Amino acid sequence: MKKQIALVTGANRGIGFEVVKQLAQANYQVILTGRDSEKVNKAASELARQGLAVEGIAMEVTDDSSVKEVAEKVLGKYGHINVIINNAGGNFDYDKSVSQMDLNFASETLELNLLSAWRVSMTFLPLLRKVPGSRIVNVASGAGSHTDTNFGLTAMGGAVSAYGVSKCALNALTCKFATDLKKDGILVNSVCPGFTATYPGAEAQGARPVKDGAASVVWAATLPADGPTGGFFRDGKAIGW
Ligand SMILES: NC(=O)c1ccc[n+]([C@@H]2O[C@H](COP(=O)([O-])OP(=O)(O)OC[C@H]3O[C@@H](n4cnc5c(N)ncnc54)[C@H](OP(=O)(O)O)[C@@H]3O)[C@@H](O)[C@H]2O)c1
């Protein structure tokens, strides 16, 4: 069987980096992307030195021409793609109130957490359509959920609003793409990695190891062609929107 090709955004560190590692260990050819070419090359070389099939390519997810350029490169080299993982994200605005929001910050957050995933998914669609059973995974968050009582939309007062709204909208995008792409047999799901220790001190606050957060994402990236689509999952189990 032909080796499966996966591309992960925001993969030079954190959950994305570990997702690349786990997919490569599962025999995928993985394209590790990030906005800074130096960081991308360093991260990809670290995994390649371990004998893993990882290639680093710089890609700025907020920039149309950068994403198009990478899609053309991947098409030329591999001819198709099996998995896109929209992982790049951030702006966890714990220190900001919804009632006193700097809308430039909110707009930047929507651009990063919502529109980038939209842009990357759309641009890579022709490559995903070249193989049966391809997958798009949107790395969402309990912070965008109506039902998560720890981090969700009605927890944490009015804080984490730009981030929460952007991740809720990302879930809506998952539903829209999943519905549209059903006819093409492309599976589209949202995944929450859970509270994961990607910054200093997070473990002491109760965050779980990065390998566990990444495994939650890898589950959706490696679904069989008859797997679920249009769902929101953590650790392979459906969770509330
Ligand atoms: N950690 C958690 O507890 C948790 C929980 C739920 C959901 N998530 C989601 O999981 C994903 C990965 O989180 P993480 O904790 O691994 O984050 P992280 O360690 O902060 O890494 C974030 C990645 O996104 C990239 N990125 C950030 N801002 C960007 C921008 N403006 N343009 C392009 N790339 C940008 C970063 O690139 P640079 O290195 O260049 O900055 C980095 O590669 C995110 O979507 C996050 O929202 C995380």
Across the range 180-195, mean pLDDT stands at 98
Handedness of CA 126, 129, 131, 135 (dihedral sign): positive
Q: By alpha-carbon position, which residue is closest to atom 44 of ligand 1?
A: 89
Q: Please check the confidence at residue 2 and state whether its pLDDT lies above 80.
A: no
pLDDT for residue 1: 62
pLDDT for residue 192: 98
Considering the entire predicted model, what is its pTM? 0.98
Please give the class, per CATH, of domain 5-90+114-141+170-238.
Answer: alpha beta
Q: Please check the confidence at residue 3 and state whether its pLDDT lies above 90.
A: no
Which of ligand 1's atoms lies nearest the C-alpha of 92?
A: 47
Q: By alpha-carbon position, which residue is closest to atom 1 of ligand 1?
A: 196
- Mean pLDDT over all residues of the chain? 97
- Are 92 and 163 in contact by the 8 Å Cβ rule? The answer is yes
Which of ligand 1's atoms lies nearest the C-alpha of 12?
A: 43
